[in-house]
Amino acid sequence: MSAILDRLQRGDVLLSDGAMGTELQKRGLEPGACPEELNVTKPEIVQGIYQDYFDAGSDIIETNTFGGTRARLALHGFEDRVTEFNKAAAQLAVNLKPENKYVAGSVGPTGEMIEPLGTLSKDVVLEMFAEQIRALVEGGVDILFIETMMAAEEAELAIEAAKSVCDLPISCTMTFEVGKAGPRTMWGISPQQAVEKLTAAGADILGANCGRGSDEMLQIIREMRKFTEKPLLAQPNAGLPEYISGEAVYNESPESILPNARELLALGVNIIGACCGSSPAHIKKLRELLDSL
Amino acid sequence: MSENLFGELSEVIIAGDDTTAAAITQKLLDAEEPAKKILDEGLMPGMNVVGKRFRENIIFVPEVLVSARAMKASMSLLEPILSASNIKETGTIVLGTVKGDIHDIGKNIVGMMMKGAGFKVIDLGINVPPEKFVETARKEQPDIIGLSALLTTTMGGMKTVIEQVRNADLDVKILVGGAPITHEFTEQIGADGFAKNATDAVDRARELIDAQKETS
């Protein structure tokens, strides 16, 4: 069994990292530019963020490859550099990984819709994920974080692709918003459906990431926990952005996330971290919390 | 008999059956029903139900998209007639995702809902520079410009568009929307309206146009 799953089974709670995108922007990524290109053109920036998260106490950091599928990279004209960008992102992380720490290959949605709603066939999407994951595996990642999924079908294809190219553990998380019907993805998937479908597809770890802050994350995880004994991963956004003097500021500070983080842990979350708007300072606080328990 | 067909057309729009929507539309046209009536009494009631269900979390994005596709199938038969007969649309909206932002699902749904509500939609796509909005508004004289952004880093670009449109002295209202957009932000940047979601966008657009009519 993989070291990560082994530790989770023993009851360890692992700390993942915080945001990549908003950190890259702080360090000079232009709006609209391709974040994954920096793995090759500005590796020191990407590695700086990796290092900051390890220093803050992350057990697992994620590669800068959220938009690393062919479909996403094509928006920047980089459709032929999938392997190069993904492999580089993984290698940069693996090269500075301390002992007993892990690198997760981040796999985000293609942003495209699958037939018959959209124009892409299942086979094409499957191959897009396989292409990206192959490169992440070559780069040496320890686990895959398939994340921010909204359509169950796409999440299932990503899991299937992962299984077809490697034996690494697979985490798959979806993004929910709490509305009148309770938590649902934009595609209408409930936490219960997510648990059932992702489990059937073969994910080892399930959960939720991104979304509208830690209050909603609590509702989502509470719901998921009812339907599964599997390890759960929770990475909430640092609240919602507020626009203050020309800049978007997320409204959950490192200190303010702690009560909800404590509750998430009480619900049996096995991997905790944060998403958009969070920083190494948020992760440091979570490390202190975990160490105090 | 035609009366039933209008109701049926609404139903197939709600169900998202594009083939049947086109077939019924053709039947109605063959029975010499006016295109405007087919739009008003067949398509719009259907899309209104879709909008309401979406707003109430009864249906979600996939269902809205299939309904929008069914509507599009019907509209492709009606549009040539509507434009030839010079029938006044509900209004014209120029839509686009602001510069630096390449996300278009939300904007596309807004576009479809707007068409369903009888608006003429001019979609400028993604990553649209402010100048392009101004230039198009000058040429097309729309009632509304709709700005979309998903990223917290690009939402600020909306302000630039608004400034340039105001400086160009164009008589157009600006509606903004997208995941990070809030009511407060809308006020800060001086937009005329804020839409929480696609159906809300239609309601706000109608309000802005009605208000405009009252003052003019």
Q: Report ipTM for this prediction.
A: 0.86
- Mean of pLDDT over chain A: 95
Q: In what order do the strands lie in the sheet with A232-236?
A: A14-15, A271-272, A232-236, A205-210, A170-174, A143-149, A102-107, A60-62
Provide the shortest C-alpha distance from residue A34 to chain B (in Å): 10
> Which positions in chain A touch B151 (Cβ < 8 Å)?
31
| Chain A environment of B101 (Cβ under 8 Å) | 31-32
Contact A32 B99 (CB under 8 A): yes
Q: Does B21 touch chain A (CB under 8 A)?
A: no
Predicted confidence at residue A118, as pLDDT, reads 82
Q: Range with the lowest mean pLDDT among A20-29, B13-22, B169-178?
A: A20-29
Give residues with Cβ within 8 angstroms of A76, minimum separation 6: A33, A34, A37
CB contact under 8 A, B60 and A184: yes
SS3 content of chain A, % helix, strand, coil (to 5): 45, 20, 35
Distance CA A191, CA B23 (A): 39
A12 Cα to chain B: minimum distance (Å): 35
Say whether A247 and B63 touch across the interface (CB within 8 A): no
Q: Which member of A32, A150, A241 has the closest CB to residue B180?
A: A241
CB distance A176 to A184 below 8 Å: yes
**pLDDT score recorded for residue A30:** 84
Averaged pLDDT score across all residues of chain B: 90
Q: d(Cα B199, Cα B216) in Å, to the nearest integer?
A: 26
pLDDT range class, residue B1, cuts 50, 70, 90: low
Domains and CATH numbers, chain A: 3-292 (3.20.20.330)
The secondary structure of chain B in percent helix, strand, coil, rounded to multiples of 5, reads 60, 10, 25
Give the residue from A173, A172, A191 showing the smallest Cα distance to A181: A191
Contact B65 A188 (CB under 8 A): no
CB neighbour class for A150 (10 Å; exposed up to 12, middle 13-18, buried from 19):
buried
Q: Which of A23, A24, A243 to mutate to test the interface with B (most CBs of B within 10 A)?
A: A243
A108 pLDDT tier (thresholds 50, 70, 90): very high
Which one is predicted more confidently, A202 or A26? A202
CB of A120 within 8 Å of a chain B CB? The answer is: no
Query: What is the arithmetic mean of pLDDT over A64-88?
Result: 96
Q: How many helices and strands (H and E) does chain B possess?
A: 10, 5
State both tokens at A151: 């359509």
C-alpha to C-alpha distance for A53 and A36, rounded to whole angstroms: 18
A248 contact residues in B (CB cutoff 8 A):
152-153, 155-156, 180
pLDDT at B70: 93
Chain A residues 199-228 with CB within 8 Å of chain B: none
**Mean pLDDT, to the nearest integer, of B171-194?**
92
What is the length of chain A?
293
> Running DSSP on this structure, what letter comes out for residue A277?
T
* Cβ separation B101–A31 shorter than 8 A: yes
Per-residue confidence (pLDDT) for residue B150, from 0 to 100: 84
Yes or no, beta carbons of B101 and A32 under 8 Å apart: yes
Tell me the per-residue pLDDT of B52-76, one tens digit each, with 9 for 90 and over: 898 889 999 899 889 988 998 999 9
Rounded Cα distance between A21 and A77, Å, is 19
Q: pLDDT-derived band of residue A98, with 50, 70 and 90 as boundaries?
A: very high
B63 to chain A, any CB pair closer than 8 A? The answer is yes
pLDDT digits (tens, 9 = 90+) for B114-157: 887 788 899 999 889 999 999 999 999 999 999 999 877 788 88
DSSP letter string, B53-87:
HHHTTSS-HHHHHHHHHHHHHHHHHHHHHHHHTTP
CA angle B171, B177, B180 (to 5 degrees): 140
* B200 CA: distance to closest CA in chain A (Å): 15
The pLDDT value recorded for residue A187 is: 93
The pTM is what? 0.90
What pLDDT is stored for residue B83 in this prediction?
78
Convert A155-172 to b/e letters by CB count within 10 Å (16 or more is b): bbbbbbbbbebbebbbbb
B59 touches chain A (CB under 8 A): yes
Q: Is A151 on the interface with B (CB under 8 A)?
A: yes
Residue that the structure tokens 């908003």 belong to = A22
Burial class of residue A43 (count of CB atoms within 10 Å of its CB; 0-12, 13-18, 19+): middle
Residue A134, CB-side half-sphere exposure with 13 Å CA sphere: 13
Q: Which of B60, B181, B185 to mutate to test the interface with A (most CBs of A within 10 A)?
A: B60
Q: Are B20 and B2 in contact (CB under 8 A)?
A: no
Beta bridge partners of A179: A182
User: Any idea which of A6-15, A227-236, B50-59 has the lowest mean pLDDT?
Assistant: B50-59
**Confidence class for position A111, pLDDT limits 50, 70, 90:** confident
The alpha carbon of residue A48 is apart from the nearest alpha carbon of chain B, in Å, by 21
Q: Which of A25, A179, A185 is opposite residue B153, by nearest beta carbon?
A: A25
A77 touches chain B (CB under 8 A): no
Question: Chain B contacts of A120, Cβ < 8 Å?
Answer: none
DSSP letters for A104-128: EEEE---S-PBTTTSSB-HHHHHHH
Is the pLDDT at B208 greater than 80? The verdict is yes
Q: Which two tokens stand for residue B64?
A: 């809205």
Identify which has the larger pLDDT, B76 or A159. Answer: A159
Q: How far apart are CA B159 and CA B163, in angstroms?
A: 6
Distance separating the N- and C-terminal Cα atoms of chain B: 42
Cα(A214)–Cα(A274) distance, rounded to whole angstroms? 9
Task: For residue B46, give both structure tokens.
Answer: 């259907």
Residues 150-209 of B with CB under 8 A from A: 151-157, 180, 182, 184-185, 188
Q: Do A25 and B66 touch (CB under 8 A)?
A: no
Q: Which whole number is the average pLDDT over A215-239?
A: 96
Which residue in B102, B90, B107, B104 sits closest to B36, CA to CA? B90
Does pLDDT of A116 surpass 90? no
Window A:36-65, CB contacts with B under 8 Å = none
Pairing status of strand B91-97 against strand B119-123: parallel
Collapsing DSSP states into helix, strand and coil, what is residue A143? strand
For residue B58, the model assigns a pLDDT of: 93
Residue A96 confidence (pLDDT) above 80: yes
Read off the pLDDT of each residue in A190-214 and give the average, rounded to a whole number. 97
User: Model confidence over A255-276: pLDDT tens digits?
Assistant: 999 999 999 999 999 999 999 8
The H-or-E segment that residue B10 falls in is helix B2-15
Give the Cα separation of A61 and B155 in Å (integer): 28
The answer to whether the CB of B42 falls within 8 A of the CB of B33 is no
Q: Do B61 and A22 touch (CB under 8 A)?
A: no
